[in-house]
Amino acid sequence: MLTVLGAYSWVNIKFLLEGAWVTVFVSVLSIILSYIFGIILGVIRYVKIKYLSAIVGFVIDIIRNLPLILILFFTYFGLPHIGFKPDPIWASVIAMAVFESMMVAEIVRAGIASIPVGQMEGARANGLSYWQALRYIVLPQAIRNMIPAIVSQFISLVKDTSLATIIVLPDLMNHAQIIYGQNTNYTIPMFLALAVMYFVVCYSLSLLSRYLEKRIGGNNSKKHDHAVEQAIENGSDA
């Protein structure tokens, strides 16, 4: 029993927390990047600019349908072939940001499409240009509808950072593996710690998403809810 409790010695906890810090760093950075690029790409896909929208849509479809592990490998082992050699942390930030931007872009496109056309028509009729109407009337409403879907996408992002151990990102998962690799008695305690730490982060995020959903859901028509629900189902992980 004591040998098992030894798993939670201060040294090990500190080592785990160092890993957790890398997980948080990679997650937060890729969340910010994918939020920005996701909205830009989603809008481009929606507004039908000649050629550009079609190309962006095609790229989004391709990357969304690939496993994240493949994209991680591609950035870490493939990019050096064309002369750019990122370290594991930046390689995972790039891979996660690219992959999740495509996911967010798809949610954004669905979100904009769920806003009734009358909003755009009304704004245009009141003298706003297309882009002004999009920027000040349509997009704010769409983003409000999309927030729950986007938050659940970010929950899977946090979980998916664990996959980056395959390119030796020194994250929570990797550090736990190192600890139980040195002493097999620590295997179960380490898995318990992993499960608890990931669960606490992801579950509190999902509570946040449910809270936002409730707060936003109040003044929405049924149609919006359905579209958001669809987007949540479409939003995916790995």
String marking each residue 51-80 x if it binds another protein according to CB under 8 A:
----------xx-xxxxxxx--xx--xx--
Residue closer to another protein, measured from CB, 144 or 159:
159
In angstroms, give the least distance from the CB of 162 to another protein: 4
Residue closer to another protein, measured from CB, 39 or 231:
231
In angstroms, give the least distance from the CB of 132 to another protein: 29
Exactly one of 188, 211, 214, 217 binds another protein (CB under 8 A); which one?
A: 188
Instruction: By CB under 8 A, tell whether 87 contacts another protein.
Output: no
DSSP state of 115: S
How far is the CA of 199 from the CAs of 153, 159, 191, 205, in angstroms? 15, 9, 12, 10
Give the orientation angle of helix 88-113 with respect to helix 10-47, to 10 degrees.
40
Instruction: By CB under 8 A, tell whether 165 contacts another protein.
Output: yes
In angstroms, give the least distance from the CB of 37 to another protein: 20
Residues present in the chain in total: 238
Among residue numbers 98 through 157, which ones bind another protein (CB under 8 A)?
155
Which amino acid type is present at position 73? F
How far is the CA of 186 from the CAs of 77, 153, 175, 183, 194, in angstroms? 32, 32, 12, 6, 12
User: What span, in angstroms and rounded, lies between the C-alpha atoms of 168 and 215?
Assistant: 40
DSSP state of 78: I
User: What span, in angstroms and rounded, lies between the C-alpha atoms of 92 and 161?
Assistant: 8
Instruction: By CB under 8 A, tell whether 195 contacts another protein.
Output: yes
Query: Taking the mean position of all CA atoms in its chain, how far away is CA 194?
Result: 20
Exactly one of 10, 51, 81, 182 binds another protein (CB under 8 A); which one?
A: 81
User: For binding to another protein (CB under 8 A), which residues are involved?
Assistant: 61-62, 64-70, 73-74, 77-78, 81-82, 155, 159-160, 162-163, 165-166, 173, 177, 180, 184, 187-188, 191, 194-195, 198-199, 202-203, 206, 226, 229-230, 233-234, 236-238
